[in-house]
Amino acid sequence: MKLLLVLFIATLLSACTQMESIQRNVTSQEESIAEEIIFMLQQKKVKNLERFLEKSLKTENNYKQLEKIASVLPSESPEKVMLVGAGVRQRLMGNINLLVYEYSYMKQWYLIEIYLMQHYGKDDFELVNINANQLPDSFAATFGFNFRNAGILHYGLLIGAVLSLLIMFYSFLLCVFSPVKIKQKWKWMLLSLLGVSGLSMNWTTGEVASQAFIVNLLSFGLNKTASGPFIFNVFFPIPALLIIAFRNKVIIGKSKDICE
């Protein structure tokens, strides 16, 4: 139970760090432009967005798409506006900056994604894409790292992360208390705490996928997408298992310790 609590606190701190980095990575100019675009959509003034649109997007079909997006949003002023995500995608011509907002009303929540292109060497921004969807609950409740809608897979993956962590710590202690040279010991201590490959879960949808060859410190990791849920990763303690297995054989054979 204590390990589960430590794991949860670690992921919570990770989420706090993510929110702090979001606020730092977005400039006041970007926020001003994004909020003005959203206001125009709320007021159904789609044609007024022409001055923000990238040239290739100024077509009748795109204006119709913008009208559909505008129809999703209420025209009233929201009770609360919060920047909940931000990201940058590098392209040949410049960077595409993503800003994700949550507009809160009385028991209604809307998630709005604004994509702004900033060409290299220029200060102005162009609107290249926009999405708006109504959420069933607040952004924190829908995409947060919580256990409100957790199922068997969620708890199974969490327990797997704890078991992997226990194996790593046991292997770590074996290396710590092995009678070897101090200069060599730290290498095996570090190796015992590495996780390799593993599984990743979309914490909101419960979708699980295998990972390619990835090396991670400790048995778990938590990533947050700019406009979506947390991705919980569990890594296999393969180095730790090898150290445990081969160390016993070496001791029995009275040979050189693997931690040396």
- When pLDDT is averaged across residues 169-174 and rounded to a whole number, the result is 88
Q: Report d(CA 51, CA 199) in Å as an integer.
A: 45
Query: pLDDT tier at 33 (50, 70, 90 boundaries)?
Result: very high
Q: Report d(CA 126, CA 109) in Å as an integer.
A: 26
pLDDT at 198 over 60: yes
Top-confidence residue, 9 or 150: 150
Query: pLDDT tier at 166 (50, 70, 90 boundaries)?
Result: very high
Short-list 17, 27, 35, CA closest to 112: 35
Domains of the chain: 2-143 (3.10.450), 152-252 (no CATH)
pLDDT at 22 over 50: no
- When pLDDT is averaged across residues 50-64 and rounded to a whole number, the result is 85
Short-list 162, 185, 158, CA closest to 174: 185
pLDDT at 254 over 70: no
Top-confidence residue, 1 or 248: 248
For residue 216, the model assigns a pLDDT of 80
Give DSSP secondary structure letters for 200-225: EEETTT--EEE--S-EEESSEEEEE-
- When pLDDT is averaged across residues 163-190 and rounded to a whole number, the result is 79
For residue 103, the model assigns a pLDDT of 93
Q: Report d(CA 260, CA 187) in Å as an integer.
A: 9
Task: Determine what percent of the chain is predicted with pLDDT higher than 70.
Answer: 82
DSSP state of 259: T
Distance of CA 26 to the CA centre of its chain: 17
Distance of CA 200 to the CA centre of its chain: 11
Tokens (6 digits) for 142: 């829908």
In this predicted model, what pLDDT tens digit does every residue of 95-141 receive, in sequence order? Answer: 888 999 999 998 899 999 999 998 887 878 889 899 998 988 888 77
Distances (CA, A) of 103 to 41, 112, 193, 258, 259: 13, 8, 42, 57, 56
Contact 88, 62 (CB under 8 A): no
56 contact partners, CB below 8 Å, separation of at least 6? none
**Residues β-bridged to residue 110:** 103, 134
Top-confidence residue, 70 or 228: 70
Query: pLDDT tier at 42 (50, 70, 90 boundaries)?
Result: very high
- What amino acid is encoded at 155 in this protein? Y
Q: Report d(CA 8, CA 179) in Å as an integer.
A: 35
Query: pLDDT tier at 35 (50, 70, 90 boundaries)?
Result: very high
Short-list 148, 130, 146, 147, CA closest to 227: 130
